[in-house]
Amino acid sequence: MKTIKGPALFLAQFAGDEAPFNSWDSITKWAKEVGYDGVQVPSWDARLIDLDKAATSQTYCDEWKGQAADNGIEVTELSTHLQGQLVAVHPAYDLAFDGFADKSVHNDPKARQAWAVDQVRKAIDASANLGLTAQATFSGALAWPYVYPWPQRPAGLVEAAFDELAKRWRPILDHADSKGVDLCYEIHPGEDLHDGVTFEMFLERTGNHARAKMLYDPSHYVLQCLDYLDNIDIYKDVIGMFHVKDAEFNPTGRQGVYGGYQSWVDRAGRFRSLGDGQVDFGAVFSKMAANDFDGWAVVEWECALKHPEDGAREGAQFVRDHIIRVTPHAFDDFAAGGTDDAMNRRMLGLS
């Protein structure tokens, strides 16, 4: 068994224009001060990283990574959630997702997709330069508007969507393989890869690509009423990343999974700061330890109620309290009587 590393913090929800969240040096100092050993970095945020330089300059990467190390912080992974989303966008979402891309490709879906693919490839190159072996991302979605089968979906619609999704990602996965980097798709509503079945559909179409991995986040499974503990055992061999995020689902006679178009605070299912929701993290961390997951436990703070800085500070301690330092020996070794093949046969009455 292996001990999970952590705690780490995903910085996407914290980067901003005010100190200490507006520069790489100050945000890593802050992360250490509130209890973190690592950070996962949103590669689209120029306040934190110059992705073009990171993709091409080993010197830049060494200095950037070294600055974090000087502040007591390790870079755990880069994230391309926003760029990955744009690898596949249904036309219904064109306007909504344009804001994720550079202004030069707005109102041009084909150019936006090419930009997104280039961004993900650059982040893979940057990851390799930084000595990282995994990258967080989204898959994007073509079939999501048809997630509920009404009106009845025509035969082959979903299959065609997943064929195209795999076609777009396969060259990116091949590039990741050439750089020794896993792409860990966060299983998330709004993505075509939103549960285990859809991940399997995608994986099959990529030829079971060795670099296609899963980012496990139990909060998204709570809101889908999916068994988040069984999921760990089913996909233990492809879980490459772990977001520690809490959630609660409290259905009423008025609303359930779909939330009635309400704001996050008024939804039956909503994300919560660690410890304030319903995820059984004692069981989650136990399964991750038993299954030899040795990556980072990365806090992703999202909560409709609590202040983010309080959530971050409490989250660091929460993860420390849940990481299991695995045992190097069996608890009953003290009673071991020694054995050999001959003794085993005698004990079975076979001698």
Among candidates 119, 132, 213, 126, which has minimal Cα distance to 173? 213
Residue 164: per-residue pLDDT = 98
Residue 275: per-residue pLDDT = 97
Residue 328: per-residue pLDDT = 81
pLDDT level of residue 334 (50, 70, 90 thresholds): low
| Residue environment code for 192-224, b if the CB has 16+ CB neighbours within 10 A, otherwise e | bbbbbebbebbbebbeebebbbbbbbbbbbbbe
Residue 70 three-state SS = helix
Range of the domain at 232: 5-347
pLDDT level of residue 329 (50, 70, 90 thresholds): confident
CB half-sphere exposure, 112, CA atoms < 13 A: 27
CA end-to-end span of the chain, whole Å?
36
pLDDT over 70, % of the chain: 98
Q: CA geometry: angle at 22 spanning 18 and 28, to 5°? A: 120
Residue 15 in this model has a pLDDT that exceeds 80: yes
Q: How far from chain centre, in Å, is Cα 310?
A: 22
Residue 332 in this model has a pLDDT that exceeds 80: no
CATH number at residue 146: 3.20.20.150
Least confident of 5-19, 203-217, 247-261, 336-350: 336-350
The total number of structural domains that make up the chain: 1
The per-residue pLDDT of the chain, averaged, comes to 96
Residue 105: per-residue pLDDT = 98
Q: Is the pTM higher than 0.85?
A: yes
Q: What is the mean pLDDT of residues 11-33?
A: 98
pLDDT digits (tens, 9 = 90+) for 217-228: 999 999 999 999
pLDDT digits (tens, 9 = 90+) for 72-123: 999 999 999 999 999 999 999 999 999 999 999 999 999 999 999 999 999 9
Residue 340: per-residue pLDDT = 85
pLDDT digits (tens, 9 = 90+) for 187-205: 999 999 999 999 999 999 9
Residue 19: per-residue pLDDT = 97
Among candidates 165, 79, 88, 169, which has minimal Cα distance to 130? 79
Residue 338 in this model has a pLDDT that exceeds 80: no
**8-state DSSP, 89:** B
